[in-house]
Amino acid sequence: MVRQLKGEYKVKNEGLIPLYQEAMRSARRFSSISFTHIPRAKNRRADKLVNRAVDEALAHCRL
């Protein structure tokens, strides 16, 4: 997702598009922002939270 947020890759997964759009709306509120990839193995708590958020977002998209 970091490469998508940086504009290096397009977001192709339909379930991720709303999350990407929300992140970009939030990012616009800052005068400066950067995105840095942290490998899952180095941040297990964030990986767990992001997986839960994606699962919840996908569940809402299917309703």
Residue 63, pLDDT score: 59
How many angstroms separate the CA atoms of 51 and 28, rounded?
24
Residue 59, pLDDT score: 86
Tell me, what amino acid is at 31? S
pLDDT at 60 over 70: yes
pLDDT in tens, 21-37: 999 999 999 999 999 98
pLDDT in tens, 38-48: 887 888 898 88
Q: What is the DSSP string of 19-32?
A: HHHHHHHHHTTSSS
Structure pTM?
Answer: 0.60
The tally of domains found in the chain comes to: 1
Q: Supply the range of the domain harboring residue 35.
A: 2-62
Q: Which residue has the tokens 């616009």?
A: 28
How many angstroms separate the CA atoms of 61 and 25, rounded?
19
Residue 46, pLDDT score: 85
